[in-house]
Amino acid sequence: MAYQNNTMIIRRDLMERIVRLMHENRLVEDVDRIPIQMAPRENGAHRRCCIYKERAVIKYKIMPVLGYRIDQEEDELTLLSTYASNALKRNKLHDSVLTVVDEACTACVKAKYTVTNLCRGCVARPCMVNCPKQAISAQVNGQAAIDPSKCVNCGLCKEACPYHSIVYVPVPCEEVCPVGAISKDEKGIEHINPDKCIYCGKCINACPFGSIYEISQLVDLFQALKRGEKIIALPAPAFLGQYGEPAGKVVNAIRKIGFHDVIEVAQGAMMTTSHEAQELKERLHEGHLFMTTSCCPSYIQAVRKHVPDMMKYVSSTPSPMVYAAQLAKERYPDAKTVFIGPCVAKRKEAQDNPIVDYVLTFEELDAIFEGLDIKVADCENEKLTYATTESRGFAVSGGVTEAVKAEGLAIDVKAIQISGLNKKSIGLLRAYSKGKCPFNFVEVMACEGGCVAGPSANLDPQNVKKLFTKSIEEIKEVCSAE
């Protein structure tokens, strides 16, 4: 998450309202009131053309929170209460991860280049002469204008203008996507191509209108808890930096939601470390050039869909989430598991590995805390189950490398960390996949800085990193005192 903004505040407000209504058994009765409550007539400070448009956008933003994909379910005549009633009765999770709220996705222009009032209407007209599609014409006042229906966004006009009067105006979600998975249709609505998407989640927080949503499992999980099902919570190591409170209090707060037990994914990370270190040693002994990590599901998606030649270099060791879920199933064979973290791609990994039944983001977890009036600061500071400092360090870039090195393999681990997947780093991976890697161990994290900077984190990365470091030190002090 890059920073706090109003679209995030609205998203979290919606989730909190849904949780509160479910807790009070009023979801079906009152869900249709949410758009009116959030966009009251007397307010007048609407972000769109009218109050009705504002309420429509809120309605469609509620649908993915209820677990629906907009383009498959949208019906203007169907009330939210109907969708909510069906959501409470369903027994299968949606198989999509992301959805675009098209009612909100209307502001970005098709042409990414525009002429500003710096245009002097010069005689030379280099912008017009160099345009390969004749998309630029002179207006009555002499200034140039770009026809968005003809523009192919080549940028030649911008380069040619001697007055720098043509500027590049990016489409934020398209600009931030490292693999070109988002594009507009003929109506100007963005669509996410599942054959390209790596579920890094960068688009969610990049959209200034908050039109991209995860398809939540909040309703499904909450219903399972209300039915009294035995569910084990698996918080990712990054939870240590989410609340500024001792880790034991956060674990206790998670337990208060109604989970049967809480097993830190850091325990699974210890197993990942052991197996991955041994696999690295064996691969290098067999003459392999290098090996990459396998714990970041977004990276795995990037390899499968965009750098297939890299697959032979990816570790076959399961992720910490999978190992933690295995531990939970061994202790509680009749239980279900829910991974809790800052990651969108974990939803896809869980779909591919049914040992994880639900995925909850830190944003959703905080919405549950707020909706159930659970105050982390007021919770008991319970004792944590043992996990190494290195396994908890999986949450930050370089943490996996340090954990593997700490295994004492008696081999020279020459490592590099790729912190953040973007067009440049994916190009680097393509080069490495051809056997041009000067390192024998490559750690890859889709989010810059590691999982603590995930798109669905509860705080911004800088604060999380500080709080995470503080929490790790507090845990070390407790362990040394025992």
Per-domain boundaries in the chain = 6-106+173-219, 113-170, 229-481
Tokens of 184: 């507009």
Separation between Cα atoms, residue 24 and residue 41, nearest integer Å: 26
CB 465 within 8 A of CB 449: yes
| Percent of the chain residues topping a pLDDT of 90 | 77
Separation between Cα atoms, residue 298 and residue 453, nearest integer Å: 13
- Please calculate the CA angle 451-468-343 and round it to the nearest 5 degrees: 20
pLDDT at 45 over 60: no
pLDDT at 475 over 50: yes
Give the closest residue to 218 by CA, choosing from 187, 244, 257: 257
Confidence category of residue 461, pLDDT binned at 50, 70, 90:
confident
- 411/122: higher pLDDT: 122
Most confident of 105-114, 135-144, 268-277: 268-277
Is 113-170 CATH 3.30.70.20? Answer: yes
Tokens of 23: 């807790």
Separation between Cα atoms, residue 251 and residue 46, nearest integer Å: 39
Separation between Cα atoms, residue 457 and residue 21, nearest integer Å: 23
Tokens of 266: 């850091």
Does 6-106+173-219 match 229-481 in CATH topology? Answer: no
Residue 205, CA distances (Å) to 9, 188, 217, 338, 360 in order: 11, 20, 19, 24, 17
| Percent of the chain residues topping a pLDDT of 70 | 96
183: enclosing H helix or E strand: strand 182-184
Average pLDDT value over all residues in the chain: 92
Residue 221's contacts (CB-CB under 8 Å, 6 or more residues apart) are 231, 338, 358, 360
**Averaged over 127-135, what is the pLDDT?**
95
User: Which fold does the domain 6-106+173-219 belong to in CATH?
Assistant: Alpha-Beta Plaits (3.30.70)
Considering the domain 229-481 in this protein, what is its CATH number? 3.40.50
pLDDT at 128 over 90: yes
Residue 1, pLDDT score: 43
- 328/102: higher pLDDT: 328
Separation between Cα atoms, residue 38 and residue 18, nearest integer Å: 13
Separation between Cα atoms, residue 151 and residue 112, nearest integer Å: 8
Give the closest residue to 239 by CA, choosing from 346, 473, 395, 12: 395
What phi and psi values does residue 379 have, to the nearest 5 degrees?
-80, 160
The tokens 């690295």 sit on which residue? 280
Residue 46, pLDDT score: 55
pLDDT at 419 over 50: yes
Residue 481, pLDDT score: 60
- Find how far residue 402's CA is from the centre of its chain: 25
Confidence category of residue 2, pLDDT binned at 50, 70, 90:
very low
